[in-house]
Structure 1
């Protein structure tokens, strides 16, 4: 449950985000609520996860498969 001040902070942040084309265009220092700051960090961070180096992914990379498709690969055990 949010306090009244937290609720006002979230409403202020939502109006800022609605004025901009996306949340990444808003400066993080202008955001007041911690939840919106966390959302900004998750959506706009420049750090991407390193791709796992498994034999199946290496084979898919050599075959010319795109990274988005390689992320969906998994080993089936039946």
Structure 2
């Protein structure tokens, strides 16, 4: 299975230029950050193997994340497009 970073870096499109794709990735990161900031820890993961994590969806990307004990840092531990299968 791909790591979170590999999954994010593999976002590409034959319909958009490299620059447009880079801009989309930055905007996607901003939307993910905003959604996690808004949801916080109010959404629990829906699978037992993700116990202690939270889940959200942004632009059809499934994201599992958790917070540091002091709630100051958020870690994204899983990131993939909903149409990807592993």
Greater strand share, 1 or 2?
Answer: 2
Asked if Structure 1 and Structure 2 have the same fold, meaning a TM-score greater than 0.5 normalized by the shorter chain, the answer is no
Bigger relative contact order, structure 1 or 2, given CA contacts below 8 A and separation 6+?
Answer: 2
What's the TM-score once normalised by structure 1's chain length?
Answer: 0.31
What's the TM-score once normalised by structure 2's chain length?
Answer: 0.29
The structure that has the greater radius of gyration is: 1
Greater helix share, 1 or 2?
Answer: 1
